[in-house]
């Protein structure tokens, strides 16, 4: 890993705070689980917002054209990989595809009067700062030469000064018990880090951050300089710790295996602390199952797997586009200890259903330490 560039982006910071080992596995090139359809649709939604910010859609037709183009691009990429091919078409594999698309279209051009469209557009109204001393626009790179680096979706002027905007396609607001929603802490930190990086490059503090949702919601984030600078210092220190651990070969000591943290981590198949946790849990944890693969019965467009876990037998059923690939992966693992990632349990039963991106790995026994 010595030739890698050690950099951390504001959007990675919270995840790495939760578990540093995830970052080290990524840096080491460990294979990752495939992203799900919802994450791919999120990329499309984000891409549409960016396009709109560069070149506002004039009508529904131009929105539809761009939508189709971006969806096709993602679907071609997914289809080229056997592990993600079953996600195509996204309209069928992603829950609430039509609802999310309609919400975005409504936010951008739907029933909004023309002036409201401005809420998703960059605004470069002058507020007094010399242009040379500001970085304004879409996809603004901050901290380019440093170790904490990233791109802010949009930096613009508003009546109160400079504003850093981050588009969010999922839930970004939380409640702190008050009447108004607040930004989720991880997203607030992300904007606070951008604010400190912006100040380091321009000498000016932005007046506020703004999380902007596709379904018209928005939440502001205030910037307190001491807090923002403290976060930037923490991010640098965290990166130093990660680099030192990698050099010393003690990276796994930074792992924080816990169901609520690991369930969203793509590096579960190669994470020894997680596989040990899965074993300790008896072979069933969240959306993963581990045990001896006793049988694999492919039948036309169906596949039935029987896995003997430490807490009893489990049945896994697959239907649809991923069946052929899963049958081949199961053939490799027959009679061995396997881990099946990304299955959904039928409540109250020992039966699981495989999804389009479920993957079967033959377990490397050296990775289980208990």
- The residues that touch ligand SF4, with contacts defined as CB under 6 A, are 19, 21-22, 25, 255-257, 261-262, 265, 267-268, 271, 273-274
CB of 261 to ligand SF4, least distance (A): 5
Cβ–Cβ < 8 Å for 235, 193: yes
The residue among 93 and 266 lying less far from ligand SF4, judged by its C-beta, is 266
CB of 189 to ligand SF4, least distance (A): 18
CB 83 within 8 A of CB 30: no
Q: Considering the complex, what minimum distance in angstroms separates the CB of residue 90 from ligand SF4?
A: 26
In angstroms, give the least distance from the CB of 36 to ligand SF4: 16
Q: Which is nearer to ligand SF4, 87 or 262 (CB)?
A: 262
Q: Enter the tokens of residue 313.
A: 């037998």
**Residue among 255 and 330 whose Cβ is closer to ligand SF4:** 255
CB of 61 to ligand SF4, least distance (A): 44
Among residues 153 and 288, whose Cβ is nearest to ligand SF4? 288
d(CA 177, CA 200): 34
Shortest spacing between CB 276 and ligand SF4, in angstroms? 10
Between 262 and 303, whose beta carbon lies closer to ligand SF4?
A: 262
Nearer to ligand SF4, 142 or 255 (CB): 255
> Which residue's structure tokens are 């859609």?
57
- 201 torsion bin: left (phi>0), alpha (psi -120 to 50), beta (else): alpha
Minimum CB–partner distance for residue 22 and ligand SF4 (Å): 4
Percentages helix, strand, coil for the chain (3-state, rounded to 5) are: 45, 25, 30
Minimum Å gap between C-beta 195 and ligand SF4 is 27
| 165 phi, psi to nearest 5 deg | -110, 135
Collect contacts of 78-82 with beta carbons under 8 A, ≥24 apart: 78/40, 81/34, 82/325
Beta-carbon-side half-sphere exposure of residue 282 (alpha carbons within 13 Å): 8
Query: Using an 8 Å Cβ cutoff, are 183 and 221 in contact?
Result: yes
> Which residues contact residue 14 at a Cβ distance below 8 angstroms, ignoring those fewer than 6 apart?
185, 186, 189, 190
> What single string gives the DSSP state of each residue in 168-228?
ESS--EE--SSSS-EE-HHHHHHHHHHHHHHHHHHS---SEEEEEETTS-EEEEE--HHHH
- If the CB atoms of residues 177 and 249 are measured against ligand SF4, the closer one turns out to be 249
CB of 120 or CB of 265, closer to ligand SF4: 265
CB of 305 to ligand SF4, least distance (A): 23
The residue (of 287 and 306) whose beta carbon lies closer to ligand SF4 is: 287
In the chain, which residue ranges form alpha helices assigned H by DSSP?
Answer: 10-18, 20-27, 37-54, 60-79, 90-93, 97-108, 185-202, 225-248, 259-262, 272-280, 323-333
Phi, psi at 263, each rounded to 5°: -60, -25
Residues 6+ apart with CB under 8 A from 339: 269, 275, 278, 288, 289, 290, 360, 361, 363
Based on CB atoms, which residue is closest to ligand SF4, 57 or 267? Answer: 267
Q: How far is the CB of 265 from ligand SF4 (least distance, A)?
A: 3
């Amino acid at each position: 890993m010595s030739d890698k560039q050690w950099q951390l982006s504001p959007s990675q910071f919270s995840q790495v705070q939760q578990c540093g080992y995830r970052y080290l596995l990524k840096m080491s090139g460990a294979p990752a689980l495939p992203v799900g359809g919802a994450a791919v649709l999120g990329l499309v939604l984000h891409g549409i917002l960016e396009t709109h910010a560069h070149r506002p859609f004039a009508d529904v037709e131009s929105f539809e054209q761009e939508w189709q183009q971006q969806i096709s691009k993602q679907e071609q990429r997914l289809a080229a990989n056997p592990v993600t091919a079953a996600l195509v078409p996204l309209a069928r594999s992603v829950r609430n595809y039509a609802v999310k698309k309609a919400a975005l279209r409504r936010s951008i051009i739907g029933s909004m009067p023309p002036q409201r469209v401005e809420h998703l557009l960059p605004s470069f109204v002058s507020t007094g700062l010399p242009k040379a001393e500001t970085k304004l626009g879409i996809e603004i790179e901050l901290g380019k030469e440093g170790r904490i680096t990233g791109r802010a979706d949009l930096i613009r002027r508003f009546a109160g000064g400079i504003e850093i905007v981050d588009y969010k396609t999922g839930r970004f607001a939380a409640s702190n018990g008050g009447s108004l929603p607040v930004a989720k802490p991880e997203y607030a930190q992300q904007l606070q880090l951008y604010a400190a990086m912006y100040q380091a490059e321009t000498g000016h503090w932005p007046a506020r951050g703004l999380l902007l949702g596709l379904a018209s919601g928005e939440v502001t984030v205030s910037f307190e300089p001491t807090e923002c600078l403290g976060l930037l210092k923490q991010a640098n220190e965290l990166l130093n710790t990660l680099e030192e651990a990698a050099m010393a070969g003690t990276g796994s000591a930074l792992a924080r295996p816990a169901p609520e943290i690991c369930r969203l981590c793509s590096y579960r198949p190669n994470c020894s602390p997680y596989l040990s946790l899965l074993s300790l849990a008896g072979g069933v944890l969240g959306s993963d199952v581990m045990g001896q693969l006793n049988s694999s019965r492919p039948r036309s467009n169906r596949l039935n797997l029987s896995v003997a876990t430490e807490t009893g037998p489990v049945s896994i059923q697959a239907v649809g586009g991923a069946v052929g690939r899963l049958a081949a992966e199961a053939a490799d693992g027959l009679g061995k200890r396997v881990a099946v990632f990304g299955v959904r349990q039928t409540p109250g039963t020992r039966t699981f259903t495989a999804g389009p991106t479920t993957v079967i790995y033959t377990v490397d026994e050296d990775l289980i330490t208990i």
